Structure 1
Amino acid sequence: MGGESHDLVAGGTPEQIVDSLMGDRSPRNIRACLPAEDQDFFDRDFRQAMAGATEELDLGPVDDLLAYWWHVARMKATGEYQAVLAEGRRVQADIESGEYVPGRPLREVLAERAAELGVKLDL
C-alpha cells in the first residue's frame, strides 16, 4: 500500500489504514493515516522534534515521536483509542468514588507497552 495515494489511505477502512501503517512508517504516511483533527497536532510535534534534531544532531526524539504517532494512528483507526479512553474514564470514576481499583501501576504498564513498540519512555 506504500505506493498508493495518501488521501486514499486516510479515507480507507481500518484494515487498509493498519496495513498502510505496517508497511510504511514514514512521517508522511503516519500523518495521512491520522484522523484530520489530529494532523495539525502531528505537524506541530513533528516540526518541533525536527527543529530539536537539527540543533542537537540527534534523531532519537524524532524516532520516539514517530513511534508515538504511529501507535495513535493505529489505535484510532481500529477504535482501540476510544476503548482505552472509555476504560480510563471508568477507572477514574471508580478512583474518585473511593472504589478499590485492582491492577498494576500505570508506569509499569506504559513501560511494558512502550518496550513492545520499541519506544523509549522516561517515566
Structure 2
Amino acid sequence: MNVFLWVVQILLAVAFVAAGAGKLTQPKEKLQPRMPYVEEYSQQQLRGIGALEVLGALGLVLPWATGIAPVLTPIAAAGLGITMIVAAQVHRRRKESFAVNLVLLAMAVVVAVGRI
C-alpha cells in the first residue's frame, strides 16, 4: 500500500506543480488559449491559485519523505481536494468538462485517507 500511495502522491504532485507553475510564471493572456476560465480571474488571483497548487504539491511529498511533520501530507491532500471541488464547480458553471478535476479529486482523497 505504501508504494501505491507514493505513486499517487508523486503523480498528483507533478500535476499540481505543472499547473501551478504555469499560473505563477505565465501572463493571463498566454494561459487563456489552454485555460479559457482564466478570463474570470485577475492576474493576482491566478498567481495565488498557482502558489496554492505548488505549495500543496510540495506538501504532498516533502513532509512524508522527510519525516518532518508528516501529518501535513494528508492535510495538503485534503486542501488540494477542496481546490478540485471548487475548480469542478467553475468548469460546470461554464459548461466545460470537469473530468480531470474529478480524477485529481479522487487521487487527493486516496492520499488523504491513505496517509491518515
TM-score normalised to structure 2 length: 0.35
- Structure showing greater Rg: 1
Structure having greater relative contact order (Cα 8 Å, sep ≥ 6): 2
